[in-house]
Amino acid sequence: MMSKFFIQTAQVVLSLILLFAACTERRDLSQNTVIVHFLAEPGGLHPTNDNNVYQRFIFQCTQKRLMFLDLKEQKLRPDVLESFPEIQPDSLSYICTIRKDIRWDDGSPMTLADILFTFKVITCPLVNNPDGKSYFYNLSEVDSLPESKDQFVFRLNKRYYDNFSMLSFVIVLQEKFYDPRGILRKYTVRDFQQDEFSAAADPELKAFATDFNASDFGRVPAKLNGLGPYALSEWTTGSSIILKKKQNWWGNNSHSDYEKAYPDKIIFQIIKDMEPTVLALKKQQIDVTTELSTPALVKLRRRDYFNEQYHSEFLGSFSYTYLGMNMRPEKDRTPFFTDRRVRKALAYCVPVDEIIQVIAKGYAKRIPGFILPSQSEYDKNLPLIPNNLNITRELLDDAGWTDTDGDNIRDKIINGERVSFSFALSYMISPVTREIALMIRNELYKAGIDARPDPMDFSLFYQKAYNHQFDALLGAWSSSALPDDPRQIWHTENWEKHGSNFVGFGNAATDEMIEEANVEMEPEKRKHLMQKLQRAVWEEQPYVFLFNASKKAAVHRRFKHGDLYSERPHILLNYLELIPQSQQSVPDQP
């Protein structure tokens, strides 16, 4: 029987051969098709249950939200709403008016029934969307206004610092498509938000949720529905995801840049390694990438033909890379990182400055915590932790990790057994993360720690992270220019419910900081609370915070409107307008 490693290696080699063959063919650049590079494949495109950067990139083309973040102006704007919600005298209620020009693919109008259904799905206890629910914990009720066909009100339990941001996470769902029998009509959002509500008591609701949670609603084209100008046409696992422009789309006459639909087809091409990505750019086989490595873009920009064919930038970003340590391991995992001294020992050992110079070529900045220097609530007094092996060794000695058998790996008696400090360092397969993992491993070895590289694909990585099945992991989070809600990543609820608090950080005191910050409407007071939380995270060191990197992006010059932005997803794919070939000035392949 062939080993798993051999099979995976053969698959990689085969994909590279096929890609090389494709790159040797001349591409017809007159076609109105945009090919976008992805480094990894999204785990799914479920409208509520999946949550990843690739999904959000695709949803820009296939879905509509109540509100959206304007990439250009870095502020929220109404999307399917006609205007900004109107705050009511109680400061807890908001009246929203929906647009009347929006229609589903079957020609029926978007209605208040669809809006109410969407909120019910998000809050239904049986729907498998812990990340989504974390944004709506403060939501009390959503209801239509009496005698109104286009207005609804949403009410909150208590004040929230940024209610409009919550609406930007609401992807509108068609009730008739997902719930043709109207199962959710007998419930309200208030019902679902009650702690004592027993969802399992209703077999019809249970059957609805089982069906809705199925992966088909995030994978099969016939089961994917949305208000955007493009629809999923084809998904070839490990290769590509193809979107096609809808015929007679309701927004064709819109004047908004966000509702233009210039390309006939958008293809998301999955290329997991940087060398074939660079080759594809040289042969003009891809039009857009926001996932270049720094060395790759530096080298490409030395070539005149690349600069003539592509517009490229090192963009500022609202993201950071981290090494997360499992502070609350399940029973089947060794408790390597339950001791704060051990976590701090790693922070002093990981060669962050060297990683920035070698991997990012200096195009990155060290960070001490989860708020970035470019964000308004950043604590500038939070110190960076220097690389100091002597302090690392002292901390490990104090925590009881010593080398008792002379094999250069520290060990310790845990639950009556001697355990070597040899842990799995999980990361998503990519050339950059592989190099970072190896650099970390080499430095930790000097301190007597064995960090075993544990590469895996995108879907498996997040599956294990959400289920706490890891020792330590290399990850990244992306945010925006808007103030952050720390609840998703740092509240204990989102560890218990398998949300994005992968590492298990937090206690009653830090939960209270988060809850106070989220109801504080005065910016300076909220800033003080957020800085207090930053300090608490720094003290516990659940992450080794690595760096805030620039985003490396390129877009082909045969399209107009190829502007690049710091906000994700960094470009408006739907707005890329093909320049007639007679007017193009870009050169052919070298």
- Structural domains of the chain, count: 3
Specify whether 542 is located in the same domain as 562.
Answer: no
Q: What is the pLDDT of residue 430?
A: 85
- Beta carbons within 8 Å of 530's beta carbon, 6+ residues apart: 371, 377, 379, 483, 484, 486, 517
In a domain, 509, yes or no: yes
In a domain, 19, yes or no: no
Specify whether 71 is located in the same domain as 191.
Answer: yes
Q: In terms of DSSP bridges, do strands 364-366 and 543-549 run parallel, antiparallel, or are they unpaired? A: antiparallel
Residue recorded with tokens 């973040």: 69
Q: Please check whether residue 190 is in contact with residue 141, taking contact to mean a CB–CB distance below 8 angstroms.
A: yes
Specify whether 495 is located in the same domain as 518.
Answer: yes
Q: What is the CATH number of the domain that holds 33?
A: 3.40.190.10
Which tokens sit at 332? 């089947």
Specify whether 162 is located in the same domain as 94.
Answer: yes
Q: What is the pLDDT of residue 11?
A: 43
Cα 127 to chain center, whole Å? Answer: 20
Specify whether 545 is located in the same domain as 560.
Answer: no
pLDDT tens, residue by residue, 449-482:
999 999 999 889 999 999 999 999 999 998 888 8
More confident residue, 200 or 238: 238
pLDDT tens, residue by residue, 397-440:
999 999 999 999 999 999 999 999 999 999 999 888 999 999 99
Tell me which of 198, 219, 239 is where a domain ends: 198
- Beta carbons within 8 Å of 342's beta carbon, 6+ residues apart: 325, 336, 395, 396, 399, 401
Q: State residue 268 phi and psi, 5-degree precision.
A: -95, 110
User: Is the predicted pLDDT of residue 588 greater than 70, yes or no?
Assistant: no
Which tokens sit at 150? 């286009």
Specify whether 324 is located in the same domain as 473.
Answer: yes
Q: What is the pLDDT of residue 491?
A: 97
Specify whether 348 is located in the same domain as 490.
Answer: yes
Q: What is the CATH number of the domain that holds 428?
A: 3.10.105.10
pLDDT tens, residue by residue, 478-501:
888 888 899 999 999 999 999 999
Q: How far apart are the first and last CA of the chain?
A: 45
Tell me which of 177, 198, 219 is where a domain ends: 198
Specify whether 429 is located in the same domain as 500.
Answer: yes
Instruction: For residues 252 and 347, give the distance between their C-alpha atoms in angstroms, rounded to a whole number.
Output: 53
User: Is the predicted pLDDT of residue 5 greater than 70, yes or no?
Assistant: no
Q: What is the CATH number of the domain that holds 106?
A: 3.90.76.10
DSSP letter for each residue of 348-373: HHS-HHHHHHHTSTT-EEE-SSSS-T
pLDDT tens, residue by residue, 362-374:
999 999 999 999 8
Specify whether 193 is located in the same domain as 299.
Answer: no
In a domain, 486, yes or no: yes
In a domain, 4, yes or no: no
Q: How many helices (H) and strands (E) does the chain have?
A: 20, 23
In a domain, 223, yes or no: no
Q: What is the pLDDT of residue 163?
A: 79
Residue recorded with tokens 């785990």: 43
In a domain, 204, yes or no: no
Residue recorded with tokens 């909120």: 119
Specify whether 188 is located in the same domain as 240.
Answer: no
Q: What is the pLDDT of residue 198?
A: 86
Instruction: For residues 160 and 172, give the distance between their C-alpha atoms in angstroms, rounded to a whole number.
Output: 22
Structure confidence at residue 589 as a pLDDT band (50, 70, 90): low
Q: What is the pLDDT of residue 587?
A: 64
Tell me which of 182, 198, 214 is where a domain ends: 198
pLDDT tens, residue by residue, 125-151:
999 999 889 889 899 999 999 989 999
Q: Which domain holds residue 566?
A: 28-44+228-308+556-583
The helix/strand/coil state of 278 is helix
More confident residue, 376 or 117: 117
In a domain, 367, yes or no: yes
Q: What is the pLDDT of residue 131?
A: 85
User: What proportion of the chain, given as a percentage, has pLDDT over 70?
Assistant: 95
CA neighbor of 208 nearest in space, from 234, 182, 188? 182
Length, in residues, of the chain: 590
Specify whether 192 is located in the same domain as 81.
Answer: yes
Instruction: For residues 100 and 59, give the distance between their C-alpha atoms in angstroms, rounded to a whole number.
Output: 22
Specify whether 127 is located in the same domain as 179.
Answer: yes
In a domain, 152, yes or no: yes
pLDDT tens, residue by residue, 33-69:
999 999 999 999 999 999 888 999 999 999 999 999 9
Instruction: For residues 162 and 368, give the distance between their C-alpha atoms in angstroms, rounded to a whole number.
Output: 25
Average of per-residue pLDDT across 271-295: 96
